[in-house]
Structure formats: structure tokens, C-alpha cells
Structure 1
Amino acid sequence: MITVRYFAAAAEAAGVDSEQVPAGDGAALRADLVTRHPALGPILDRCALLADGRRVEPGDPVPAGATLDVLPPFAGG
């Protein structure tokens, strides 16, 4: 299992700040998160996924025990 932490609009769409999900690669995790929280679909496409501080691409594995941060784009200056 991994811990997924949602931030800003991603947390609002998911309806939770964090949860435990099975480990997998970036593409499988994105699909799983949208299945669990359909409202994440349009937001997740614009989000960065970071596993223990490192960007996760679709084929990158996210091992059990990792923390995956779901970060929507931030505006500011």
C-alpha cells in the first residue's frame, strides 16, 4: 500500500485529504484514483504526481510504503 495525499483542488474533488491505495505504476495509480473518485478525472490530468518528492511519469513504479502527493497547478507570483 501507499499513502496518497491530495492538495488544493485535488483534495476537494477527491473528498479526502489522504488515503491508502495499492502500489503500482503512475498510469495504474492515476486510473485507480479516478475510479475511486470520478470527480478527479478532469483535475488529475493537470496534476503532478510526486512519490517521496520525485515526479512520477506513467511507467514509473511507485513502491509499497511510498507517499504519493497529488499536486494541482498552483497560481501565484
Structure 2
Amino acid sequence: MASLRFFAGAAEAAQADTASLDAGTIGELRAELGERYGSEFMRVLTLCSLLVNGARASDDTVALAPTDTVDVLPPFAGG
């Protein structure tokens, strides 16, 4: 199972900082997240970047291994 880490607004929407999901691709992961956390989380997820082991995964076909770590990062404002 891939390990997920939620940050900022994504953690608030999921009401969790971490999770584990069994998914073969980023697209499958997004679908599983929607089933688990619902429509409000999915709204937040559309704004987020996904990093797989530190590398941005912008394509739903990116493969996931059970040992991967996926970071769910909402946009950050800086100043």
C-alpha cells in the first residue's frame, strides 16, 4: 500500500495527516481518495500537487508501488 501524507488544507479536508491506499496509478489513487473522503476532499484535491517520492506526478498514468510515499500538497501562499 502506498503511504500518503496530507498537508495544510488537504489534511483538514481528509481529517487526517496520513493514510495508506492500495492503488496502481495516480488515477486509481485519486478515485480511491474520492471514495474514502468524499466530494469536499476531491474539490481540494483538484487544487493540490501530488509528489511521489519527492517527484511531481502530474499525470494520472504515473505508476505507484506499494513502497511509494505520496505527498498531497495544496497551493501555498508566501510573502
TM-score (norm 1): 0.94
**Structure 2 CA distance for aligned equivalents of residues 75 and 55 of structure 1:** 19
After superposing on structure 2, the runs of 4+ consecutive aligned residues of structure 1 that deviate more than 4 Å are none
Deviations 1:31-72, CA, capped at 9 Å, x for gaps: 111110012111001100001001112111011111100000
Kindly report which structure 2 residues correspond to 1:4-19, keeping only aligned pairs within 5 A, or say none. 4-19=4-19
- Once the two structures are aligned, what percentage of the paired residues are identical? 43
Alignment RMSD? 0.9
**Structure 2 CA distance for aligned equivalents of residues 62 and 50 of structure 1:** 11
Kindly report which structure 2 residues correspond to 1:13-32, keeping only aligned pairs within 5 A, or say none. 13-32=13-32
Corresponding pairs, count: 77
Larger strand share, 1 or 2: 1
Task: Give the structure 2 partner of residue 72 of structure 1.
Answer: 74
* Unaligned runs of at least 5 residues, structure 2: none
